[in-house]
């Protein structure tokens, strides 16, 4: 875990030191988030993670986040430390998201593993509603068979058409757009799907190392999946 954490910090430093003017607001957020690791407790760290977006929210003319009370210092459990590292890894995976408001949604969505660990409800996004991208979605999640990459959207949003859970709680979901996604075996988070499929809206975006992150409205947690058809 120490190696993963060290690698994550190295990535943050790379982002901070890269001379990209357009990415500067994101760099400021990630730089502030890296400082949060001085916070002892999971709740204090999470508050710091959210507060790291203050400068970007101001630049986007969004209302400031509500102030939070001082959290009593505490030692993170092994589960909380693992969830924190997943948050940082997923937040780095938001790099390819186009548009700072969409990036901010992805950044907030990355916090779901730690929120789930703390039994907190999913956090709201920076915008009132998710706008479906106009980029081509058909190739999203499909691996290219040649060196030439397939044109694809940065993320997709679709209502769920059906779902199936295996004996281990791993899901297989079909979206209203016809795509079928399978949760990766060994994923440590299980989706608590108890309502009719049409009540769920699914957002899928690029993760790290070729993976995909799945957020399901009203369901705590961030899940890793791959497209099967």
What pLDDT is attached to residue 28?
A: 87
pTM equals 0.50
For residue range 26-52, list pLDDT tens digits in order. Answer: 888 888 888 888 887 888 899 889 999
∠ CA 98-51-65, nearest 5°, is 90
Cβ neighbours of residue 13 closer than 8 Å, sequence gap 6 or more: 34
pLDDT at 77 exceeding the cut of 50: yes
pLDDT > 60? residue 23: no
Pairing of strands 155-165, 201-206: antiparallel
- Provide the mean pLDDT of the chain: 75
- Sketch the domain layout of the chain as residue ranges: 2-117, 155-227
Question: Is the CB of residue 150 less than 8 Å from the CB of residue 144?
Answer: yes
Name the more confident of 150 and 110. Answer: 110
Measured CA angle at 12 (ends 8, 13), to 5 deg: 115
- For the record, the structure tokens of 114 come out as 């730690």
- Per-residue pLDDT tens digits for 154-212: 778 888 889 999 988 999 999 888 889 999 888 888 898 988 888 888 888 887 666 78
Residue 74: CA count within 13 A, CB half-sphere: 14
Over residues 91-143, the pLDDT tens digits come to: 877 777 778 888 888 888 888 888 888 887 766 555 433 333 334 555 665 55
Three-state DSSP at 212 gives strand
With CA atoms as reference, report the closest residue to 215 among 153, 179, 173. Answer: 173
Rg (CA), the chain: 18
Upper half-sphere CA count for residue 10 (Cβ side, 13 Å): 6
């Amino acid at each position: 875990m120490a190696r993963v954490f060290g690698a994550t910090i190295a990535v943050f430093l790379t982002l901070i030191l890269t001379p990209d003017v357009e990415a500067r607001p994101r760099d400021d957020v990630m730089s502030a988030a890296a400082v949060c690791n001085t916070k002892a407790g999971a709740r204090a760290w999470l508050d710091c993670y959210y507060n790291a977006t203050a400068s970007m929210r101001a630049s986007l003319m969004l209302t400031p986040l509500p102030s939070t009370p001082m959290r009593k210092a505490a030692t993170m459990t092994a589960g909380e430390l693992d969830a924190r590292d997943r948050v940082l890894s997923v937040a780095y995976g938001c790099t390819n998201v186009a548009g700072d408001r969409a990036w901010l949604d992805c950044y907030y969505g990355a916090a779901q593993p730690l929120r789930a660990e703390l039994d907190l409800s999913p956090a709201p996004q920076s915008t009132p509603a998710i706008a479906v991208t106009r980029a081509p979605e058909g190739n999203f999640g499909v691996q290219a068979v040649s060196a030439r990459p397939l044109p694809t959207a940065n993320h997709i949003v679709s209502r769920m058409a059906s779902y199936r859970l295996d004996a281990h709680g791993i899901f297989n979901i079909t979206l209203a757009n016809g795509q079928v996604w399978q949760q990766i075996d060994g994923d440590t988070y299980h989706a608590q799907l108890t309502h009719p499929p049409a009540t769920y809206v699914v957002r899928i975006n690029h993760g790290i190392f070729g993976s995909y992150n799945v957020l399901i409205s009203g369901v705590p947690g961030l899940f890793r999946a791959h497209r099967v058809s």
